[in-house]
Structure 1
Amino acid sequence: MTCVLYLLLTIWLHIRPLSGGLVKLEGELENSAVISHSQGLMGRLETLLLQGNSSDVSLRVETADGDEVKLFQAHSLVLSLQSPTLSQMLQNRNSSTLVLQESADCVAVFEKFIRYLYCGELSLRLDQATAMHKLATKYGVSDLQQGLTEYMSQNLASASASGHVVGWYEYAAAAGDMGLKATCLQFLSWNLSSVLQSAQWPSVSAELLMALLRRSDLVLQSELELFEGLEAWLIQNDPDSLTVENALRAVRYAMIPPRELFRLQRNSPILGRYQESVRDLLYLSFQFHSASPLQLAKFFDVNCSLFVPRNYLTASWGTPWVINNPARDDRSISFQTQLGPSGHDEGKRVTWNTLFSPRWLPLSLRPMYNEQGTMHQSQAVQPALGAARPRIIITPTTSSAEFAGISFQKTVVVSTRQQGQLVVRHVYNFHQSTEEAGDFLANVDLQQRTSDYLVDGSLHLHVIIKPLYQTLIAIKK
């Protein structure tokens, strides 16, 4: 029986299903294929697990306190082939029973885990992903670990009452999965307005809170919204004084209008208690709003993030833009933004023109014609249309001489619908000296109405203009 099982597993692990039920063998020619019954083989292996036929090891999976126990009749050969960790444990065992101590959440999904070892597939819910990832990591099942990381990365926007993204971030940080941690942090940063209003916000750790507060790419309505969310978190979690002070000092008060700053000083219970910790920042912010930024720089050190805007969605900073049937033709829109974040510039406006083209060509690739209307021979062989792709160009109508030391970072936020919710899919940044985002929607096919970048056939954009006092601050990414 052991020899037969080994043969079945060897075949199963070295064949790859192709369409039409054919399987190409490794190292064979393109047209070399055999009939595949791999699904039937998987079914027989699953039956082997369920019935325990020819089992030579018992797995006792239990929690540390022994309150939850599960027993499985298994086969050493299968476990050893799939998990190097289990293989080592099986070699060192001194009885027919192998005791595995796991957390309660891992015990709950262990049946799915061992089924994967036999069948190479599993189904799971969002709330089971972390426990399954723990098991895959602990027992060295690298293919499953990678597959779970991809599953989690692709389901960040899925609806979940438990607030799974925050939990996944905390898990990834503890497990040292830097890729998953970065992916979760980026998603939370780009969708912070929704996160602040969700049930998962109070469960954010102090470490994650500070990681978010330090970022300039947060997408949210305003800095005031961020402060109010921070205040709610501080009141609910009641952390130590050092954590409170560090968090409050990460707020960019200079991005909050003076009338709102006055209101916060009067009404905020957190500021009332910790105002001394941020008094210098509040004072500098009021000065920033009352004087010319160039004049302020003569007396204060303003080379800090306090004066760097985040990606604010309010009308002073940009405009939403929904483009219906974006593959059809070029579109344009005009809007105004405040010249700078300082109250000194509140009454000054910059008008911006934005052009979207689904198939725009750069000048270097556009066909040139001679006086007879014939394309230049040097360009006749160029596949001009092949280089066309979606483009967005943002230019000011105001003379640059009127900007007085201000530069602008242009940001285009692309939102899509995932699992029934509108979420930020991507954020594109480019500077004043560049008219367009070079990688905007690269490799995105807008002809397909089912594209992941479209919502009911429409492209949802939000164009943001971030004014930066270039002579005063060093911009850090």
Structure 2
Amino acid sequence: MGAVETMFFRKSPSAMRCLLPFATLLLLSAIAEGAQKIDLNNENTIATINHSSILIDHLQGLLHNSNSSDITLKVYTGNSDEVKVFHTHHLLLVLQSDVFEDLLLNQSVTTLVLHETAECAVLFEKLLRYFYCGEITILLSQVVPLHKLAAKYHVTALQHGIIEYMSQHLASAFPQGHVVSWYHYSARIGNEDLQERCKRFLAWNMSSVIHSQEWQTISDDLMVALLQRSDLVVENELEIYYAVEEWIKKNQPDVTVTETVLKSIRYAMISPQHLFHIQKQSPIMKEHYSSVHNLLFLTFQFHSTTPLVFAKYFDVNCSLFIPRNYLSSSWGSQWVINNPARDDRSTSFQTQLTPSNSDSSKRVTWNVLFSPRWLPVSFRPSYSSLGHGAVQAYSPEDGRPRIIINPATNSVSFAGVSFQKTVLVRVKQDGRSYVKHVYNFHQSTEETGDFLLQADLQKRSSEYLIDNSLHLHIIIKPIYQSLIKAIK
């Protein structure tokens, strides 16, 4: 898959002055070939004649016209004798890159010898083409070496454009195995925004990541960072444990990393039956049991009673007792809403009261209402300001989508347990479904303020709709009132 990014030249006034006649001739040539006739009946009429595309065509043609070039670039690949020769122009090089400007300070220089890695050398012509026309066509597999070239030669606009391209195409990059490598690259260059976007995409689509080839390429630091997050979207905690076990077998991290990773598993979210099986069958657990036995002991105590009783004797203010975004039917339900802009919809489902094994038979029924055109409080009429009996008119288009989730039974029966609700919004790109947004709230998405704010559900072409349907997954997270500090 490819995509086009258009950038504009960064102009250097000193360079423009030194070769002004050359640029002027090009401009006059472009205007002569593409000039338009405009009938000016009024002397005050203002018109804009734009022949920039013709000028760009001329500039791009210069790249293939060696007769008018004044600088030769010889690009060597690594330590080999392979060389690529490009006939270029002083003006275009110094306009786009202050590195070339420094290299060409000596006006007598006519040849530059450059050394690039094999992956960068093969794309060097793309960089030059960008110099000449301000546009570049890039493939997912080319973004890192192109960014390296742009960074090396200080082509700032191109650097920013490539980073933005990476940020916007994570879903397309994932099937080809690029997201993890892009994270590692962003970490090396210190781009924290791209790092976080990559981590968030991996976290929100963790169940898919676990079953992909990228899982085995995750670095130690990234694995630790991911397992510390509470927004991982997985079937259940058991899925994470077995995936981590395979990662440890494949990558053989040192003991410190292995134990840190194993301690990051939220064992309290795994049933005692499965924990017994892990202790009996897992070679990784047997080898490193001493590092996590305290967590397992605490977990079995947690499962032996209700969370409210457990909290009277043990500190539960830690991530061990905080649920992630589990897709299991025990903790939520998928909801596909056909024609979501049409009218209000409702549904209901059940979840387990808490992760504690003592509550395994207790269920909570949830009633859910989806409204596509609910009016936010800020848009509602203020009768005191409108005058007696006045009614403020508003259009349905002013409304926003909202979801309200309430228990069907009295909350008194929850015995100290409150609930955080999470709504995952899935979209489709390049034929694959992925989680685009995650919203957390306590009762209504009105609390988030931005629920589906950019989604135009009226349009069948909306990126938020899959086959004209809105694909949601609602997750209920039990939180122990005033006992647990939620993180992330």
Instruction: Give me the TM-score of the superposition, normalised by structure 2.
Output: 0.87
Contact 2:63 2:88 in 1 (8 A): yes
After TM superposition, give the deviation of residue 364 of structure 1 in Å.
Answer: 7.2
Q: Structure 1: which amino acid aligns with 2:230?
A: S
Q: Provide the rounded CA distance (Å) in 2 between the counterparts of 1:95 and 1:214.
A: 55
Distance in structure 2 (CA, Å) of the matches to 1:435 and 1:126: 37
Partner SS state of residue 122, structure 1: strand
Quick one: which amino acid aligns to residue 428 of structure 2? R
Call closer, same or farther: CA 1:225–1:93 in 2, change over 3 Å: farther
1:28 corresponds in structure 2 to: none
1:429 corresponds, among 429, 440, 443, to 440
Letter in 2 for 1:439: D
2:200 match = 186
2:464 corresponds to: 453
Q: Does 1:137 align with 2:151?
A: yes
Once the 2 structures are TM-superposed, how far is the Cα of residue 349 of structure 1 from its aligned partner? 1.2
| Shift, 1:442, TM fit | 0.9
Partner of 1:350: 364
- Look up the SS of the partner of 1:140 in the other structure: coil
| Residues 61 and 161 of structure 1, relative CA distance in 2, 3 Å threshold | farther
CA distance in 2 between counterparts of 1:243 and 1:63 reads 37
Task: Tell which deviates more after alignment, 382-391 or 190-199.
Answer: 382-391
Shift of 1:7: 3.3
> Partner of 1:47 in structure 2?
61
Please list the CA deviations of residues 356-415 of structure 1 after superposition, one character each: whole Å capped at 9, or x if unmatched. Answer: 11111246756799xxxxx98665344353531111111112212112221211100000
8 Å contact kept, 2:381–2:392: no
The answer for the alignment partner of 1:407 in structure 2 is 418
Amino acid at match of 2:355: P
**2:326 equivalent to 1:317:** no
Taking structure 1 as reference, are residues 105 and 405 closer, same or farther at Cα in structure 2, changes over 3 Å only?
same
- Classify 1:267/1:379 alpha carbon distance in 2 versus 1 (closer, same or farther; 3 Å): farther
Q: Distance in 2 between matches of 1:44 and 1:186?
A: 44
Kindly indicate whether the alpha-carbon contact (under 8 Å) linking 2:373 and 2:397 is maintained by their aligned counterparts in 1: no
2:95 matched to which residue of 1?
Answer: 81
Query: How many equivalent residue pairs?
Result: 457
Q: Which amino acid aligns with 1:42?
A: I
Cα gap change, 1:351/1:82 in structure 2, threshold over 3 Å: closer, same or farther? same
Name 1:241's counterpart in structure 2: 255
Over aligned residues, Cα RMSD in angstroms? 2.7
Report matched runs for 1:56-71 at 5 Å.
56-71=70-85
Q: What does residue 177 of structure 2 align with?
A: 163
For structure 2, the 5+ residue unaligned runs are: 1-17, 30-34, 37-44
User: Once the two structures are superposed, what CA deviation does each residue of 1:398-456 show, in whole Å capped at 9, x if it has no partner?
Assistant: 21211222121110000000111000011111125887643210132100011010111
1:343–1:38 CA distance, 2 compared to 1 (3 A): same
1:274 aligns with 2:294: no
Q: Secondary structure at the match of 1:394?
A: strand
Is 1:367–1:379's contact at 8 Å kept on the other side of the alignment? Answer: no
Report the 3-state secondary structure (helix = DSSP H, G, I; strand = E; otherwise coil) of the residue aligned with 2:186: helix
Residue 123 of structure 1 aligns with which residue? 137
1:6 is aligned to 23
**Closer, same or farther in 2 for the Cα pair 1:67/1:180, shift >3 Å?**
farther
Quote the offset at 1:47 in angstroms. 1.6
Map of 2:10 onto structure 1: none
Counterpart Cα distance in 1 of 2:387 and 2:344: 26
Secondary structure at the residue paired with 1:50?
Answer: coil
| In 1: Cα distance, 2:174 partner to 2:487 partner | 35
CA contact under 8 A between 1:336 and 1:350: conserved in structure 2?
A: yes
**Which runs of no fewer than 5 residues in structure 1 stay unpaired?**
13-20, 23-30, 370-374
Which residue identity is paired with 1:83?
A: S
Q: Which of the numbers 126, 148, 154 marks the counterpart of 1:112?
A: 126
Distance 1:161 1:408, change over 3 A: closer
Whether contact under 8 Å (1:63, 1:101) holds in the other structure is yes
- Name the CA shift for 1:106/1:383 in 2 (closer, same or farther; >3 Å): same
The residue that corresponds to 1:417 in the other structure is 428
After superposition, what is the alpha-carbon deviation per residue over 1:95-151, rounded to whole angstroms, capped at 9, x for unaligned?
Answer: 432222222211121110111011111112100011111122222222211211221
Does 1:338 pair with 2:352?
yes
Kindly provide the amino acid, as one letter, of the partner of residue 441 in structure 1: L
Q: Is the 8 A contact 2:424 2:438 kept in 1?
A: yes
1:91 pairs with 2:105: yes
Shift in CA distance, 363/79, structure 1 to aligned 2, threshold 3 Å: closer
Report if the CA contact (8 A) 1:63-1:102 is conserved. Answer: yes
